[in-house]
């Protein structure tokens, strides 16, 4: 892959940018290829749950006997609401986004499953539909769990795809939900990488979990499937130092043309062998058949040849508080995120990225 510095990861706090806008900042329109009504409905659901991230806290507190009882009940409820695996950790302010106020002490990390037999069609509408479904499910799960906690008299806030005040990955790792794979997504032995994250933060005192070592990093050190199949040459062959951690990293600028042009791509997830080992080998045959059917070089070339031509100009917002930022608090217009080329309402970090890439504002 192309070697370059990653100044956005140099130690300064990251700024939350809604994912659709991240890709659009690089000049790609994620809605250029039409998606089915079903997928669009899931997409709309990811926005709808933002309207319910916060709410009234019941006046009477229903105490638990102890922190163990609290964490057990919360995990049980999370499962009922849709989380296939739940971990609890402390909120780490290092990984709270710049400019966000998050006073809560605990983060409940929720894993929402995806169906590998849909995920395996990377760079197609079928893939993105499953991703959007998982994010919509994750948002609903987080909203329902936050409501439950508030009904017991404790504050709680739901975080999901379109509204996150904290970085999900480092909190999920701390909560024992898995290890970071070379492809930049979380992997655990039980689920492979066929799941997405959501979160609830709260002050309800609970027993916290610990990070796990399931030997995943060792496998990644010797497996190059995602690197070899990535059409954008965007997956690092060596770990990089990021905010004091030595870890895998995706070159987002190399990934973006494919992610933005082809239904959030996901080829790196499709080819990850941990999916074949997950769920007691449920998808092993399907995985092997899929891998055998793909000529990675041919597919990469096809995708490269048909990439979108990125647009060059975006317009700086007149009002920094307009557009996407209001939307994530449940105000503003969804149209800014869903339709057409964005010309306004982008956060400042977008313009810094474009400056660095030599793209005009």
Q: Does 131 bind ligand SF4 (CB under 6 A)?
A: no
Contact of 110 with 141, CB cutoff 8 Å: yes
Q: Which is nearer to ligand SF4, 72 or 233 (CB)?
A: 233
210 to 229, contacts with ligand SF4 by CB under 6 A?
219-220, 223-226
Q: Where are the beta strands (DSSP E) in the chain?
A: 85-90, 106-113, 156-159, 179-180, 186-187, 195-202, 240-242, 245-247
Name which position in 131, 175, 265, 346 contacts ligand SF4 (CB under 6 A). 265
Please say whether the beta carbons of 193 and 275 come within 8 A.
yes
Cα 216 to Cα 185, 282, 311, distances in angstroms: 12, 19, 39
Q: Is 232 in the site for ligand SF4 (CB under 6 A)?
A: yes
Shortest distance in whole angstroms from residue 269 CB to ligand SF4:
7
Residue 96 in contact with ligand SF4, rule: CB under 6 A: no
Q: Which span (52-60, 136-144, 150-158, 251-259) binds ligand SF4, by CB under 6 A?
A: 251-259
**SS3 at position 339:** coil
89, 209 Cβ separation under 8 angstroms: yes
Please tell me whether residue 186 binds ligand SF4 under the rule CB under 6 A. Answer: no
- Nearest CA-CA partner of 101 in 113, 111, 93, 90: 93
Among 234, 278, 336, 350, binds ligand SF4 (CB under 6 A): 234
Binding pattern for the stretch 268-307 against ligand SF4, x by CB under 6 A and - elsewhere? x--xxxx---------------------------------
Nearest C-alpha neighbor of 44 from the set 338, 326, 304: 338
Interface with ligand SF4 (CB under 6 A), residue from 26, 42, 195, 258:
258
Tokens standing for residue 77: 């409820």
Shortest reach from residue 127's CB to ligand SF4, in Å: 10
Residue 28 C-beta: closest distance to ligand SF4, Å: 12
Distance of CA 95 to the CA centre of its chain: 14
**Which residues lie near ligand SF4 (CB under 6 A)?**
181-183, 219-220, 223-226, 230-232, 234-235, 250, 255, 258-259, 265-268, 271-274
């Amino acid at each position: 892959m192309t070697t370059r510095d990653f100044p956005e990861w140099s130690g300064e706090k990251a700024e939350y940018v809604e994912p659709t806008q991240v890709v659009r900042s690089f000049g790609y329109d994620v809605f250029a290829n039409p998606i089915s009504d079903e997928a669009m409905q899931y997409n709309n659901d990811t926005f709808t749950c933002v309207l319910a991230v916060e709410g009234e806290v019941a006046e009477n507190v229903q105490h638990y006997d102890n922190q163990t009882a609290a964490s057990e009940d919360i995990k049980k409820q999370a499962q009922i609401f849709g989380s296939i695996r739940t971990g609890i950790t402390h909120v780490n302010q290092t990984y709270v986004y710049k400019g966000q106020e998050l006073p809560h002490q605990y983060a409940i990390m929720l894993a929402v499953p995806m169906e590998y037999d849909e995920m395996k069609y990377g760079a197609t509408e079928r893939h993105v539909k499953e991703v959007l479904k998982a994010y919509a499910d994750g948002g609903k799960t987080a909203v329902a769990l936050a409501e439950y906690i508030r009904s017991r008299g404790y504050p709680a806030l739901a975080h999901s795809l379109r509204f996150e005040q904290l970085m999900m990955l480092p909190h999920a790792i701390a909560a024992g939900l898995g290890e970071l794979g070379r492809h930049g997504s979380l992997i655990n032995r039980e689920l492979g990488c066929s799941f997405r994250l959501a979160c609830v933060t709260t002050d309800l005192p609970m027993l916290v979990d610990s990070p796990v070592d399931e030997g995943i990093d060792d496998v990644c050190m010797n497996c190059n499937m995602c690197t070899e199949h990535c059409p954008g040459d965007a997956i690092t062959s060596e770990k990089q130092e990021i905010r004091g951690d030595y870890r895998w990293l995706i070159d987002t600028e190399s990934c973006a043309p494919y992610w933005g042009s082809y239904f959030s791509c996901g080829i790196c997830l499709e080819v990850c062998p941990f999916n074949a080992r997950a769920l007691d080998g449920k998808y092993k045959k399907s995985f092997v058949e899929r891998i055998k059917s793909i000529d990675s070089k041919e597919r990469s070339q096809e995708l490269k040849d048909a990439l979108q031509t990125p647009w060059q100009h975006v317009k700086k917002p007149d009002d920094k508080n307009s557009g996407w930022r209001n939307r994530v608090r449940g105000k503003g217009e969804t149209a800014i995120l869903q339709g057409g080329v964005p010309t306004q309402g982008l956060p400042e970090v977008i313009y810094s990225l474009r400056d660095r890439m030599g793209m005009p504002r």
